[in-house]
A and B are shown apart, each in its own frame.
Chain A
Amino acid sequence: MLPEVVLSYLTQAAEEARTELPDRNSSLFLSGVLDSFALVDFVALLESKCGVRVDDAELRPENFDTIAKVEAFVQRARGEV
């Protein structure tokens, strides 16, 4: 489960994009919630709020395309899986 501050960021991004936050398996990119520059800020937020470091090799958009993928990434980065 992602921290509330991370989900709040996505909810706010969805509002700014005038769209709904998609379900956990639908694309944050295709829904318009995260554009390329919002993705930069989102990854920085994940690093600071989830206590993880996104290595260069893992810095790939597909790791952050859905809420489920983000959760899985954070779990992996924390060594929880």
Chain B
Amino acid sequence: MSCYITACGAALPDRVVTNAELARWLEVTPEWIEANSGIRERRWAGAEQSTSDLAAAAVSDALNDAGMSAGQIDYLIGCTLSPDYQVPGIAPLVQRKLAGCRQVPAVDLRAGCAAMLYSLQLAGGLIAAGAANDIVCFGAEAQSKGLDLARRSAELSMLFGDGAGAVVVSREPRHGRGLPLEIKDVLIAADGNFAEDLTVRAPGTANGPRWFDAEQRAERLHHPAMNGRSVILHAVRKLADAAIEVTTRNGVSLDQIDLIIPHQANANLLRSLGNRLKVSEERIVVNVDRYGNTSGASAFLALWQAQRERRLRPGSHALILAFAAGFTWGAALCRVGQPPGQG
């Protein structure tokens, strides 16, 4: 695979929801939320703000970073668990909101919180096949609109925040605000045996004669549901295994990874992962304390933050990791490029 993440962008709703505010709805304490998640606050979309609004703003930010216009995009890959509509997908809606964007392919990719990794592999394949030169991948969520704000769902509803992130994946390196990242290798996998351990079941055709009805509403099938113990057990194992496999098969040791850029599931999970990989906390990007778990946007936002804070050193290696519903998971090994004039 030879292609580059050449720019990053982000968009976050203005509304900050603190643990104190959320704790009242969930009938827990703010301290309980922080102790169990590491989250202090998260952003929630406004009533009139859709996921595609956030996504379009993040893509525009990434294009600005790249010095590109929307007309230069060859392909759009959109990742979300909380789309504007069931049909059509979010990618065409974002395309419509990007002034000057041509009638290029615009496709949704549903791989939950691991969608960034899936989108990077797909983008790399499209570039290698000659189908595109500059591809925009984005992750965007407005999960807050689907949460069960009650004590029975506190362990899940405390986690989620809204936001969007985007990257430009290009055949050739170019320089935006940050350094280009060469995508050396992407490892992705899935195990559908655990598909029911993290779900939003409705609307859906596996629920009986109607894809959404009063009975499903009463059973709260339209809210996220999780077997938390199972998710955490598998997440820590699979993230660590993926990190080891993708580095080993490329002749890179974990000691040579300057920065791990993980999906921001939960601060305690990131700590557990760091312990298992024997990687110190300062080598792991964490923003879950400020933005919560933004699902499909999360890894995009973590990379955006790493670039913004200039935490990527020229010539170093970075590892993007994610685990998600499905279960799906993966790792992307990247090499950080040189500043302009030195590459």
- A-side residues, CB < 8 A to B, are 29, 36-37, 39-41, 43-44, 56-57, 59-61
What residues of B have a CB within 8 angstroms of the CB of A61 in the complex? 227, 229-230, 233
| Count of chain B residues near A, Cβ 8 A | 15
Known A-B contacts A29-B229, A57-B193; the reply to A37 vs B272 at CB < 8 A is yes
Known A-B contacts A56-B234, A59-B234, A59-B237; the reply to A36 vs B229 at CB < 8 A is yes
- 0/1 interface trace, chain B 262-304, chain A, CB 8 Å (1 if under): 0000001100100010000000000000000000000000000
Main secondary structure on B side of the interface with A: helix
Are A37 and B191 closer than 8 Å at their CB atoms? no
Interface assignment of B236: CB less than 8 Å from any CB of chain A = yes
B238 (CB) vs chain A CBs: closest residue:
A56
Question: In the complex, what distance in Å separates the CA atom of A61 from the CA atom of B272?
Answer: 17
Interface centre among A39, A40, A57 (most CB of B within 10 A): A40
A59 (CB) vs chain B CBs: closest residue:
B233
Q: Contact partner of A37 among B193, B234, B269, CB < 8 A?
A: B269
Could you list 21 A-B pairs, sorted by A, with CB under 8 Å? A29-B229, A36-B229, A36-B232, A36-B233, A37-B232, A37-B268, A37-B269, A37-B272, A39-B232, A39-B233, A40-B233, A40-B237, A40-B272, A41-B272, A43-B233, A56-B193, A59-B233, A59-B234, A60-B233, A61-B229, A61-B230
What residues of B have a CB within 8 angstroms of the CB of A40 in the complex? 232-233, 236-237, 272
What residues of B have a CB within 8 angstroms of the CB of A39 in the complex? 229, 232-233
What residues of A have a CB within 8 angstroms of the CB of B229 in the complex? 29, 36, 39, 61
What residues of B have a CB within 8 angstroms of the CB of A56 in the complex? 191, 193, 234, 237
What residues of A have a CB within 8 angstroms of the CB of B230 in the complex? 59-61
Question: In the complex, what distance in Å separates the CA atom of A29 from the CA atom of B233?
Answer: 14
- 0/1 interface trace, chain B 175-199, chain A, CB 8 Å (1 if under): 0000000000000000101000000
What residues of B have a CB within 8 angstroms of the CB of A59 in the complex? 230, 233-234, 237
A40: min CB distance to chain B, Å: 5
What residues of B have a CB within 8 angstroms of the CB of A36 in the complex? 228-229, 232-233
B288: min CB distance to chain A, Å: 15
Question: In the complex, what distance in Å separates the CA atom of A40 from the CA atom of B234?
Answer: 9
A41 (CB) vs chain B CBs: closest residue:
B272
Question: In the complex, what distance in Å separates the CA atom of A53 from the CA atom of B102?
Answer: 53
Question: In the complex, what distance in Å separates the CA atom of A39 from the CA atom of B227?
Answer: 13
A57 (CB) vs chain B CBs: closest residue:
B193
What residues of A have a CB within 8 angstroms of the CB of B269 in the complex? 37
Question: In the complex, what distance in Å separates the CA atom of A76 from the CA atom of B32?
Answer: 38
What residues of A have a CB within 8 angstroms of the CB of B193 in the complex? 56-57
What residues of B have a CB within 8 angstroms of the CB of A29 in the complex? 229
A29: min CB distance to chain B, Å: 7
Q: Which 10 A-B pairs have the closest CB atoms?
A: A61-B229, A36-B232, A40-B236, A36-B229, A37-B272, A37-B268, A59-B233, A36-B228, A40-B272, A61-B230
What residues of A have a CB within 8 angstroms of the CB of B236 in the complex? 40
Question: In the complex, what distance in Å separates the CA atom of A60 from the CA atom of B227?
Answer: 10
- Known contacts A36-B233, A37-B269; can you find 17 more A-B pairs with CB under 8 A? A29-B229, A36-B229, A37-B232, A37-B268, A37-B272, A39-B229, A39-B232, A39-B233, A40-B233, A41-B272, A44-B276, A56-B193, A56-B234, A59-B230, A59-B233, A59-B234, A60-B230
B249: min CB distance to chain A, Å: 20
A44 (CB) vs chain B CBs: closest residue:
B276
Interface centre among B191, B236, B269 (most CB of A within 10 A): B236
What residues of A have a CB within 8 angstroms of the CB of B276 in the complex? 44
B236 (CB) vs chain A CBs: closest residue:
A40
What residues of B have a CB within 8 angstroms of the CB of A41 in the complex? 272
B196: min CB distance to chain A, Å: 12
